[in-house]
Amino acid sequence: MIRLALAELRADRHLWIGPLVVAAMAAALIGVAAAHWSASDTPQVAAAAARAGMTVAEVRGAAYVLYVCTGLAAVIVLSTVSSATIDAMRVRIARWRLTGAQPLQVRLVILTHMLALGIAGTTVGCVTAALAADPVVDLFVHASTGEADVVDATPDLAVVAITLVLTLGVCAVAALGPARRAARVPAVQAVRTLVSPPRGMTVFRWILTGLALLGVAVMITACVAIAFTLRDSPDLVNAGASMAINLGVAITVTIALAAPAGLSGMIRLWSAIIPARLSPAWFLARHSVVHRITHSTAAVVPLMIGASLYGVMFSIVDTFRVALAAAGSTAEVNTFDTYLVLTPPALLTAVGSVAVLLLNAPARRREFAVLRAAGATLRTMLVMAACEAVLYTLTAIMLALVPALGAAVAIAGCISVAGLPFAPALDPRQALALCGATLVAMTIAMTAPAVTTIRSDARETLAAQ
């Protein structure tokens, strides 16, 4: 079985490039966060924090946020990209089933693939973290305390071991869903059907969604309790900000879990604002996105995660800034460390969304070949592909606004108890910049199959059907 898994991994190595890149990026980020956490527990950092009027826990806050954001992004993005890889491997998995492979054997092969990718990605990530940890951690400490060259943050064996365990744990958690779906691939259907059928919500996913909703309710209750318990405490703002972040993350996780249930209807609803008679390319794009809702969900969810992380954190910062300005204060809020913490996980989510589209390129070439055979022009196909990228991006932005608004209202309520004005504010600039850059990459990934189809013979492309 191990020999089969390794042989299939070599045969389909181009399909596993996306999960490997995601695993390597996650390992590098986890390694840097572990190095920062370890370096913060030194007398040098404690002394620098004391001189800046801070505690070591406050200095470690950046590492905690990086842990949470990286873990959230890595598990969801790696699971999503791996699921898209499984969909691209449906025909090969069907051949395993036709030759007598049992569902348990298929699951073990996919888990072996993910374990091998986790080890390879962790190796690359640890090397990257070893090179980048010292300057990055020094930058974090400088942003917190104002002092540079405080500590040597080169990862030691303990940090490497923590990185290895956490990354492999992330890969294992992310592999459970794809391996279970691979084991359920019907052999005949996978061989005869080129487009994977839509997947609904499994019972387990409904349970997780319910638990996530319960978590959101708990976070809201905790925000209210903290606001009135710490009414006269100087720790109210910090505690309120922490709970607002947790609330935003909980809402983001809930949306990601519930996406397969409602994303199709949401896209149908809002994309209907442009009638078919005004733009045939938009009509084709919206129906194509809904028809391939499994891949559409896989493309939207990672980008939504990245936009939500930016939206939640910077909406909290902007709400605090607006409240201070309304109260007549001229104090400035430093957001440099926020950029440092959030940008790597956000880039990880953008890479995940684009990787899903690249994995779907062969199926898109066949679809464009059908359109070409039906008389569609090059301009129509290119505009259709660009419209699909716009649909993905705008849907991700709309979903990301929900956790950002929830976090802004939570922090505004907490600081209003402290005497500041209740003024929730959204700051979508960073999320829009991320989505704009991802839109460009998505457009390139979507239009490339159309250009390839135009330059090739449609009959040869459709011969496999």
pLDDT, one tens digit per residue, over 325-369 is 877 766 666 677 777 778 888 888 898 888 888 877 777 777 777
In the prediction, which pLDDT does 311 show? 92
* Most confidently modeled range among 85-94, 212-221, 288-297: 212-221
The one-letter code for the residue type at 363 is A
DSSP H helices, 89-202, are: 90-98, 103-145, 157-183, 187-192
As given in the structure block, the two tokens for residue 289 are 């996105």
- Residues 256 and 302: their CA atoms lie apart, in Å, by 8
In the prediction, which pLDDT does 462 show? 56
- Residues 215 and 17: their CA atoms lie apart, in Å, by 34
- Residues 114 and 166: their CA atoms lie apart, in Å, by 14
What DSSP character marks residue 260? H
In the prediction, which pLDDT does 127 show? 85
Residues in Cβ contact with 358 at an 8 Å cutoff, skipping those fewer than 6 apart: 18, 445
Residues in Cβ contact with 104 at an 8 Å cutoff, skipping those fewer than 6 apart: 183
Q: Three-state SS for 55?
A: coil
Which of 38, 63, 75 lies closest to 143 in space, CA to CA?
63
Cβ distance 443 to 385 under 8 Å?
yes
Q: Three-state SS for 428?
A: coil
Per-residue pLDDT for 17 more than 60? yes
Q: How far is CA 126 from CA 10, 30, 59, in A?
A: 23, 9, 23
Q: Three-state SS for 214?
A: helix
Residues in Cβ contact with 454 at an 8 Å cutoff, skipping those fewer than 6 apart: 368, 372, 378, 381
Per-residue pLDDT for 459 more than 60? no
Helix (H) or strand (E) holding 45: helix 43-51
Helix (H) or strand (E) holding 85: helix 56-88
Diameter of the chain measured on Cα atoms? 75
Cβ distance 151 to 137 under 8 Å?
yes
Which long-range contacts link 174-177 to residues 24+ away (Cβ below 8 Å)?
Answer: 174/74, 174/75, 174/76, 174/78, 174/79, 174/82, 174/114, 175/79, 175/82, 175/110, 175/111, 175/114, 175/115, 177/79, 177/82, 177/83
The one-letter code for the residue type at 14 is H
Confidence of residue 408 (pLDDT cuts 50, 70, 90): very high
Mean pLDDT of 281-296: 86
Task: Please indicate whether residue 146 or residue 302 has the higher confidence score (pLDDT).
Answer: 302
Average pLDDT, the chain: 80
Segment 119-137, tens digit of pLDDT: 888 888 888 888 887 787 7
Per-residue pLDDT for 155 more than 60? yes
Per-residue pLDDT for 372 more than 80? no
In the prediction, which pLDDT does 115 show? 79
Between vectors from CA 6 to CA 2 and to CA 10, what angle results, nearest 5°?
170
Task: Please indicate whether residue 331 or residue 74 has the higher confidence score (pLDDT).
Answer: 74
Of 20-34, 173-187, 218-232, the one with minimum mean pLDDT is 173-187
Percentage of the chain lying above the pLDDT 90 cut: 16
Tokens 């070439």: give the residue. 365
Cβ distance 78 to 23 under 8 Å?
yes
Of 75-89, 344-358, 418-432, the one with minimum mean pLDDT is 75-89
- Residues 14 and 92: their CA atoms lie apart, in Å, by 14
Task: Please indicate whether residue 271 or residue 19 has the higher confidence score (pLDDT).
Answer: 271
As given in the structure block, the two tokens for residue 202 are 């499994």
Between vectors from CA 125 to CA 124 and to CA 129, what angle results, nearest 5°?
125
Confidence of residue 304 (pLDDT cuts 50, 70, 90): very high
Cβ distance 62 to 144 under 8 Å?
yes
In the prediction, which pLDDT does 343 show? 84
Confidence of residue 324 (pLDDT cuts 50, 70, 90): confident
Mean pLDDT of 424-453: 87
Which of 319, 184, 307, 210 lies closest to 252 in space, CA to CA?
307
In the prediction, which pLDDT does 461 show? 55
- Residues 173 and 213: their CA atoms lie apart, in Å, by 20
Per-residue pLDDT for 193 more than 60? no
Segment 40-61, tens digit of pLDDT: 777 777 777 777 677 666 666 6
Mean pLDDT of 135-145: 74
Tokens 């294992």: give the residue. 172
Q: How far is CA 141 from CA 52, 332, 456, in A?
A: 11, 19, 55
- Residues 290 and 397: their CA atoms lie apart, in Å, by 18
Task: Please indicate whether residue 68 or residue 220 has the higher confidence score (pLDDT).
Answer: 220
| Whole-structure pTM value | 0.82
Q: How far is CA 397 from CA 103, 170, 391, 403, 424, in A?
A: 38, 26, 10, 11, 19
